Structure 1
Amino acid sequence: MSQHIDDYEDFREVDTAGEKDTAADTTDPSTTADSSAAGAGDDADHQEDGYEHFCFLCRRPESQAGKMIELPNDIHICTDCMQKSFNTMNSQINNSNMNYGDLLNMPGVSMIDLGNLNMGPQPKKIRKKKAAQEAKPVLDLKKIPAPHKIKATLDEYVIGQEKAKKVMSVAVYNHYKRVASDMKDDVEIEKSNMLMIGPTGCGKTYLVKTLARLLDVPLAIADATSLTEAGYIGDDIESVVSKLLAAADNDVERAEHGIIFIDEIDKIAKKKNANQRDVSGEAVQQGLLKLLEGSQVEVPVGANSKNAMVPMVTVDTRNILFICGGAFPDLDEIIKERLNKQASIGFYADLKDKYDRDPHILSKVTVEDIRNFGMIPEFIGRLPVIFTLDGLNEDMLVEILQEPKNAILKQYKKLLAMDEVRLEFEDGALHSIAARAMERNTGARGLRAILEEYMLDIMYEIPKDDSIGQVIITKEYIDGNGGPRILLRGQEVPLLA
């Protein structure tokens, strides 16, 4: 075997010497100097690129596999894969008693052109981590808004839910203080992951989106209904971290200080039927424990599932804030059952229907109620901040229509203002819209659907006539007993309450 290797080395030395002689005879010195300068420039550009290279074979980044060997057509191979390739070639030639020189001198056989190889899609780019001596704190404690400022901003976009906004403001502020402190002393601050409970359409997702926009941190919104245990059809649990990495433009350092919102968390409660395998219930809760607690997770880049053609990076979830939300249907029945047991004993026993019409029944939830719903104790323990959101009433829906910064009515008014038409709504019309949304029992989501229904004809007809100056949506139009008031230009009047 050593004889084969020696023959190959002798062949390469002779071949290389011949190439050098040929190059020396045909190459202009000035051209050589220019080429060297260009090559040095390319290397400088590569150093300033700020992105990691991936191994063409194993798809590991430079930070994990070490220094890469550069080949034509921007192909990079790690030393481990290169060594394995040589070992495989040696073993194959040793078994077949073939010589390297004989292989290269065979007629019709030439060196493989790596530039023509195509092994699937190019991997996503990953930014290099800065050196330790150059590392700067990602978060500046002075730039983190105080809780009262966070709540004031949330007030501009979210109507009601005063307690929920207050709890979120304090929890987020404490979390990023924990990240900024970076364990400067022996006191380690625990994570303040949150669990929000509230009926559909009450603003859970909207609160998180507004919060992420205020703090200017990457946000990933995942749906727990698609998560399954490893090995089953569906998204892997690590896919929620992969979505956050994508939201951070594949910047691992920035993603490690982001927010992950897992919606529909109540859908992974333990199944009541113990005879069938629970691949999307308790098993998912068990898998999420390590993410919530904080661990090093290998996640695919640019994909939800792991496969051989997708590069992997390591993300530390220790400083990622997890917010879980869900409607938890029938949780109110569990709360009522517990309260009725406590209140139906003794001379001062309450009536059993006392809590049937309590609109704030969810605010009386306890950890025991959530456990009875189907969430395992270990999972609940990693969500220390638990709060509830109230259901919306008619007055709150009217405020949602017109008060927030990007209220639905303001959006429609802006659309018609582009056609130089004023749009106004009577108070009676707003209450009729809110009453219809209450009947649908879909919260604030029903408002947009109702408005789309009534604004369709108006948005279609108005651009036809340039003489129209104002449109007033009346209560009769919403109730189906009349139509909107349309005024020509010069006849516009301010809307009276």
Structure 2
Amino acid sequence: MRYDDWTAEGRLWYVDDSDAEDNDDVCGELDGEADLLRQFDRGEKLYNYLDKRIWKQNEAKRAASIIMFNCLHRGRRSNAMFIGPSGCGKTYIWRCLQELFPERIEIVDGSNITPDGWSGKKKWSNLLLSEKFLEGRQTVLVIDEADKMFMPKTNSRGENWSEIIQGEVLKMLEGTYVDLGSGVRVDTSMISFVFCGAFSVKSEEIAEKKRGGSIGFVKNNREVKAYDAPIERKNLHDFGIMTEILGRIRRIVNLKPMTEKDFFHMMDAACSPIRKLEEEFGVEISLMPETCRKLVSEAAEDGEGIRGMENKLCVMLEDALYEEEDRRHFVF
């Protein structure tokens, strides 16, 4: 399937599964992690695995492959930060790797972490309760929505909540033993910390500054938009992240927003939400041209990206299954 300026020529949209066999899971019938380690014995092989599942974002796929290879084969930790708008794939990259190595990667939501001694059940120490951190081998902890965790917040007593949390994060990044009670301790020097966040406020601020006297446009008459320029360390410091934390983050990876054309190609790729739902529900799904057009346009406009397309398709499928539970092929 090709894009071919469909908007100008009014081309039909369709889903072509003719190359489905080429995108089958490369893992095959592997027996445990030992087989996986032998199969993925080079960072390039991890990259190729991701490349079949994620559209574009080559720099992020390469960085994730290096971090994962270091974890699996070199016994080295590599702290990083993945930055990009919602729906660009920054967390999905790690979900794909987690499917390969579920015992090595933990993904958590960082938006509702609270400091020790404060109300709230989710503490940094709670994130380490997973068995995978207790086995004494290299692992990766991915903190999604990290920008919300780092954003300055002040309580009624004037205390900066974020600074307290960052102080706890700093100890983890330095590598320390965390006491989880009952004599159980976790060595955080064995954990690679990967922070994923949109930092949309900072990105829009950078774009606004670049607009400056150009009244919203640059020399080539293209409007300056959020994420046109990368978010750098100095921008993250201005956002409120401690210098000490930034100094312990080896890589900062900026992901680009996805365009309508990108979402179109995703619908026919191995990472298609159609393919995912077909596997999850054990059905076949076909989309009418107008349905594809609507899903892709909304994904580009509302910023929800591939996640938004999947959610909308899932609702359509669940509603249809409610009416006809035994049906196996659906056309929307």
Q: Which has the larger radius of gyration?
A: 1
How far apart in 2 are the matches of 1:139 and 1:193? 26
Q: State yes or no: 1:382 paired with 2:248.
A: yes
Could you say what the CA RMSD is over the residues aligned between the two structures, in angstroms?
A: 3.4
1:327 offset after TM fit, Å? 1.2
- Pick closer, same or farther for the CA change 1:458–1:193 going to 2, 3 Å: same
C-alpha deviation, 1:274, in angstroms: 9.2
**Aligned match of 2:312 in 450, 469, 472?**
450
Are 2:216 and 1:353 aligned?
yes
1:152-171 pair list within 5 angstroms = 152-171=48-67
Give secondary structure in 1 for the equivalent of 2:143. Answer: strand
2-structure distance, mates of 1:163, 1:396: 16
For 1:426 and 1:299, the matched residues in 2 are separated by 53
C-alpha distance 452-379 of structure 1, shift in aligned 2 (>3 A): same
Select 2:292's aligned residue among 430, 435, 442.
430
Q: Which 5+ residue runs of structure 1 have no aligned equivalent?
A: 1-137, 180-188, 301-310, 345-350, 474-497
1:304-323 → structure 2 map (5 Å cutoff):
311-323=182-194
Give the distance between the partners of 2:151 and 2:179, measured in 1 at CA.
27
What is the distance in 2 between the residues matched to 1:398 and 1:280?
A: 42
Task: Pick one of 274, 291, 298 that aligns with 1:409.
Answer: 274
Partner residue in 2 for 1:285: 166
Matching residue of 1:98 = none
| Inter-partner Cα distance in structure 1 for 2:186 and 2:282 | 47
Deviation at 1:294, TM superposition (A): 1.1
Inter-CA distance 362–328: structure 2 relative to 1 (3 Å threshold): farther
Contact 1:197–1:388 (8 Å) recurs in 2: yes
**Distance in 1 of aligned mates of 2:325 and 2:211:** 60
Match of 2:14 in 1: none
Instruction: Give the whole-Å Cα distance in 1 for the aligned partners of 2:35 and 2:165.
Output: 31
1:354-373 alignment, distance < 5 Å: 354=217, 357-358=223-224, 361=227, 363-373=229-239
Displacement of 1:221 in angstroms is 2.1
Q: List aligned pairs for 1:53-64, cutoff 5 A.
A: none
Letter in structure 2 aligned against 1:224: G
Pairwise CA distance, 1:285:
0.6
Q: Which amino acid aligns with 1:238?
A: S
TM-score, length-scaled by structure 2: 0.75
Give the counterpart of 1:202 among 70, 88, 96: 88
Deviation at 1:424, TM superposition (A): 2.5
1:425-481 Cα shifts (integer Å, max 9, x gaps): 2444312221123333322221123224444554345568x8xx97544xxxxxxxx
**Aligned residue for 1:237?**
124
CA distance in 1, matches of 2:316, 2:118: 45
User: Any conservation in 2 of the 1:340–1:352 contact (CA below 8 Å)?
Assistant: yes
Q: CA separation in 2, counterparts of 1:141 and 1:163?
A: 23
Paired with 1:262 and 1:373, the residues of 2 have a C-alpha distance of 18
Partner in structure 2 of residue 174 of structure 1:
70
1:394 aligns with 2:260: yes
Kindly provide the amino acid, as one letter, of the partner of residue 335 in structure 1. I
The whole-number CA distance in structure 1 between the counterparts of 2:282 and 2:37 is: 42
1 or 2 for the larger relative contact order (CA 8 Å, sep ≥6)? 2
Aligned match for 2:141, one of 241, 250, 260: 260
TM-superposed deviation, 1:289: 0.8
Confirm or deny: 8 A CA contact 1:362 1:388 kept in the other structure.
Answer: no
- Report whether the alignment pairs 1:150 with 2:46: yes
For 2:312 and 2:37, locate their aligned partners in 1 and report how far apart those are by CA, in whole Å. Answer: 44
SS of 1:286's partner is helix
**1:423 deviation in Å?**
4.1
Percent identity, aligned pairs only, is 24
